[in-house]
Amino acid sequence: MFDKTKQWKAVKLTFVLGALITAACLIAADHIDAPGVTSGNGGSVGSDITDLYAFANGDNMVFVINTQGLLSPSATTAASFDEEVMLEINIDNSSTKDQIEDLVIQATFENGKVQVYGPVAPVTMGVNSTRVSGSPAVEAGITTGNNPIIGDANGIKVFAGPRDDPFFFDLGRYLDILGGTQSGFRNPGVDAFAGTNVMALVIEVPKSRLGSGDINIWATSNRKL
């Protein structure tokens, strides 16, 4: 009992220290994670990635990149994809896993449409990206309401538009714990992301286009130079 109390005090103390160090650190999946992609009023801009998902559907792989988190229903009506921003899924399918992209899937947003390029070897690697040449593999109108517009061509599907944020987390209680005013989570917890939307990009690709075995992926948002 004594050890437990002592240990708990240590945990609590480090929480307070941690809170001081991180000050306004917001933990979410990746929502509002950086000043560079957060606007002055606390909202995020078109290049703020909130979440990345990758899951199998039979012989296909589904990629989801969500952006612009914590959109209220009214803010969602006014939200749009930034035409200056390209979203990219980077894929390392090398046997050594050198964390360098061997394939990219690129999505651009122009004239009310989403265009998907790839999966294809990148023109440039690293923090600068070049849109691959040629025509898009698939494109679709950007959805504005509840009924999804789906593009389907060359074995690839795409959707871009507002959806419910699939992320769930008792962010408020976590911040209280970090701040030292609470010692643990509540039960039941309160999902801080309930009732909020994101601007979502969903792309479904045949696994055979991605490599074999295990791959490593990461999402990036990139602003036109």
Partner 1 sequence: MKYSMLSLLFVSFLAFTACDKDDDQPVVRYEQEDQMGRPAINTVFVPSGSAKDAFNTTTPAAMGAAYTTVFRDRLLALNAGYTTNLLTLDATTFASVLATDVLSVSLTKPTTFYDGTNVLTGRTLADDVIDVELILIFGGPTGGSNPGLTSDNVSANDRPFLSSFPYLAAPHS
Question: Closest CB to partner 1 among 141 and 166?
Answer: 166
Cα atoms in the 13 Å half-sphere on the side-chain side of 28: 26
Chain positions 25 to 44 lying near partner 1, rule: CB under 8 A, are 25-31, 33-37
CB of 208 to partner 1, least distance (A): 9
**Dist. CA 89–CA 202, nearest whole Å:** 11
Decide: is 180 part of the binding site for partner 1 (CB under 8 A): no
Chain positions 106 to 165 lying near partner 1, rule: CB under 8 A, are 124, 126-131, 133-134, 146, 148, 150, 157, 159, 162-164
Q: What are phi and psi of 215, to 5 degrees?
A: -130, 160
Question: Closest CB to partner 1 among 16 and 112?
Answer: 16
CB of 41 to partner 1, least distance (A): 18
Decide: is 187 part of the binding site for partner 1 (CB under 8 A): yes
Decide: is 1 part of the binding site for partner 1 (CB under 8 A): no
Contacts of 155 (CB under 8 A, 6+ apart): 205, 206, 209
**Dist. CA 87–CA 109, nearest whole Å:** 9
CB of 19 to partner 1, least distance (A): 10
**Dist. CA 158–CA 107, nearest whole Å:** 9
Out of 1, 2, 24, 42, name the contact with partner 1 by CB under 8 A: 24
User: What's the one-letter identity of residue 183?
Assistant: S
Out of 39, 83, 98, 179, name the contact with partner 1 by CB under 8 A: 98
Count other Cβ atoms within 10 Å, centred on residue 25.
11
